[in-house]
Structure 1
Amino acid sequence: MASSGGCTLWNILSVSFTALQTSGLVVTVKESTIEVVRGDFVILPCSFFTSSPLSRLNIIWTLAPFSSPYSPIQVIVFDHGQIIEDPSLIGRVAFTAIPLSGDIMVNDTRVSDAGVYRCMVNNPPETADPGIGELVLRVLVAPSLPACEWEGEMAAGGSVTLSCSVAEGIPTPDIHWDKLNPEEISLPINMEDDLSGSVQIVNVSSQTSGLYRCSASNVLGTENCYVNLSVYSALAGNSSGILQGVLLTLSMALMLLALLLLSLWLHRTGQDGRWKTSEEEEEEEGYNEIRYTPSLIKRSFV
């Protein structure tokens, strides 16, 4: 019975070993998606199991970028003890524990590093089909400082459009507009595209005046920009023109009054001159009459 049991155990171990030998190369990737902040380093895992010696081990990492998924590039290769890096990644990519694992490290990560990575392992004389592991790398980027602008008519009754845009951010930033004083109020926003949004304010009034904030947020943080609006009254805007009109009217009235007074003065002066001439003529006539008095004529006959 014991002998029979021993044979049975031996048979099980023999079958298990045979299955292990014929199971071929196995590649395992621990994580299907990995995220890294732009500028940091990241380790991309690729574990493998093989029952054959590693003298002919071959590992190839490729990347299908999100920007061009149908044009994969070769990132790094380990082939018969030699390591070959893509020229664009020299100094930024390396194996971490070759030949015991196929893990690689990518440092100084860039947005162009994001995409689908494939780890292909081949170790002859095992099965000709390489083991393949696949994972997705996402490179996160904080929102850039948004740019705030406004355009429109700031007179009461006019309309104003507030615009806000960011140059970059991964994941795509959420954009919000708020009025900060006298109390914080969230404003409805019209998204023109993924990275810009605007708010339209119609029939503005003095209550529209205040400080407005545009916020761009994602998992890495929030950036803000501000616009300060000052709405003026249309009547206040026209008061200067009305005042100028009143001053012009007063000036013309004063000029007319001055001309009238001058005319009266000249007229009076002219009459005084005529009165004086008449009096002088009368005096001269009187003088002539005195010079030819009858007494003188009488004296001439004596």
Structure 2
Amino acid sequence: MGCVGWKLFWLLCLLSTFLQYGAVRVTVRESAVEVVRGDSATLTCSFFSLMPLFRLSIIWTLTPISHHESPIQVIVYAHGQVIESPSFIGRVGFVGMPWNADIILNETRISDAGVYRCVVNNPPETGDHGIGELSLTVLAPPSLPVCLWEWDTDAAGNVRLSCAVVDGFPTPQMIWEKLEPDQITLPVNTDGGMIGSVQIANVSAQTSGLYRCSVSNPLGTQHCYVNLSVYSPADNSPGILQGVMLSLTMALLLLALMVLALWLHRSAQESKWRNSNEDECYNEIKYTPSLIKRSFV
């Protein structure tokens, strides 16, 4: 057997061994992918197999960031059919099938972030399935924050200004500022990363003003505002007392005038009534004798 014959013999042996014990080889070109929420992302998964692709199967799964122990199915290719998970229907699809297992994810959401796995199997090749893994990060600008205030704003009281944002990635940074009458940056306490509050003790009239909460990350900035008004008693207490006394005096004077007017009106009515009664009595005495005389004639 010549040199060429020996080479062919060893090549056939190696090929036979690979076919007997080999497995599908999977390659992921990008181990980490970033996308802005609402945009499309391509998740790559290339594979190599020496066997025909008649029984090829591909499964993509997602392990969300918030549920590391609960992977969910994204899309499956098996027996020539494609099956999409309900939460991904209309948003996910294969690219270049059956020559690779790449998928495209459209209209990305915050919930799409996590670790994706591509599992490829092509019987009758034996051995473990080919597996590729990559992470997807979905970036989002901050949502519009909501500003609230709590507690009384009476003098010498306390007030708490809070600012809450629903989503945004990376986690938004929060800044509280007093804009009017003077611009001052206030220390912020963060509760869980998505709520920032400011505690103001012993508020007074000087605490009044326009306050702004700013939430920002590399994709944008949003604001909300609180207009805080604090009222305290004036310092010129004697002036206030004089005003109250003057108002009370005027009210008493008007009341006295009203009583006098009513008394005069009633007196006039009583005088008129007495005069009317006297006239009736006088007429009765005047005409009675005449009637008596006529009765005797």
Query: Do they fold alike, i.e. is TM over 0.5?
Result: yes
Aligned-pair CA distance for 1:221: 1.2
Partners of 1:105 and 1:239 in 2: CA distance: 79
Q: Which residue in 2 is equivalent to 1:211?
A: 210
Q: Which residue in 2 is equivalent to 1:195?
A: 194
Distance 1:240 1:104, change over 3 A: farther
Partners of 1:242 and 1:135 in 2: CA distance: 78
Contact 2:58 2:76 in 1 (8 A): yes
Q: Which residue in 1 is equivalent to 2:176?
A: 177
Partners of 1:174 and 1:89 in 2: CA distance: 31
Partners of 1:153 and 1:86 in 2: CA distance: 51
Aligned-pair CA distance for 1:188: 0.7
Q: Which residue in 1 is equivalent to 2:84?
A: 85
Q: Which residue in 2 is equivalent to 1:56?
A: 55
Aligned-pair CA distance for 1:155: 4.8
Aligned-pair CA distance for 1:236: 6.0
Partners of 1:238 and 1:36 in 2: CA distance: 65
Partners of 1:139 and 1:119 in 2: CA distance: 19
Partners of 1:183 and 1:56 in 2: CA distance: 73
Distance 1:207 1:102, change over 3 A: same
Distance 1:236 1:229, change over 3 A: farther
Write the letter of the residue equivalent to 1:121: V
* Matching of residues 1-302 of structure 1 within 5 Å: 14=11, 24-235=23-234, 242=241, 245-248=244-247, 250-251=249-250
Contact 2:22 2:127 in 1 (8 A): no
User: The residue matched to 1:180 in structure 2 has which SS?
Assistant: strand
User: The residue matched to 1:246 in structure 2 has which SS?
Assistant: helix
How many residues were matched structurally?
253
User: The residue matched to 1:200 in structure 2 has which SS?
Assistant: strand
Deviation by residue 1:120-179 (Cα, 9 ceiling, x = unmatched):
011223233111011222333322211112234445544322121122223332222112
Deviation by residue 1:86-136 (Cα, 9 ceiling, x = unmatched):
233222111011111110011122233222211001122323311101122
Partners of 1:140 and 1:184 in 2: CA distance: 32
Which of the two has higher C-alpha Rg? 1
Aligned-pair CA distance for 1:29: 1.4
User: The residue matched to 1:77 in structure 2 has which SS?
Assistant: strand
Give the alignment's TM-score, normalised by structure 2. 0.71
Contact 2:23 2:129 in 1 (8 A): no
Write the letter of the residue equivalent to 1:119: C
Contact 1:155 1:234 in 2 (8 A): no
Contact 1:122 1:128 in 2 (8 A): no
Partners of 2:206 and 2:12 in 1: CA distance: 85
Aligned-pair CA distance for 1:84: 2.0
- What is the CA RMSD across the aligned residues, in angstroms? 3.6
Q: Which residue in 1 is equivalent to 2:293?
A: none
**Which range moves more in the overlay, 172-181 or 38-47?**
172-181
Partners of 1:127 and 1:181 in 2: CA distance: 73
Partners of 2:170 and 2:222 in 1: CA distance: 14
Structure 2 unaligned regions, length at least 5:
261-297
Partners of 2:159 and 2:124 in 1: CA distance: 74
Partners of 1:75 and 1:167 in 2: CA distance: 26
User: The residue matched to 1:118 in structure 2 has which SS?
Assistant: strand
Distance 1:239 1:79, change over 3 A: farther
**Which range moves more in the overlay, 128-137 or 74-83?**
74-83
Partners of 1:31 and 1:160 in 2: CA distance: 50
Contact 1:177 1:214 in 2 (8 A): yes
Aligned-pair CA distance for 1:182: 4.4
Contact 1:152 1:160 in 2 (8 A): yes
Aligned-pair CA distance for 1:249: 5.3
User: The residue matched to 1:234 in structure 2 has which SS?
Assistant: coil
User: The residue matched to 2:244 in structure 1 has which SS?
Assistant: helix
User: The residue matched to 2:245 in structure 1 has which SS?
Assistant: helix
Distance 1:128 1:79, change over 3 A: farther
Deviation by residue 1:210-260 (Cα, 9 ceiling, x = unmatched):
2211011223211100122334442269789635532255448869xx89x
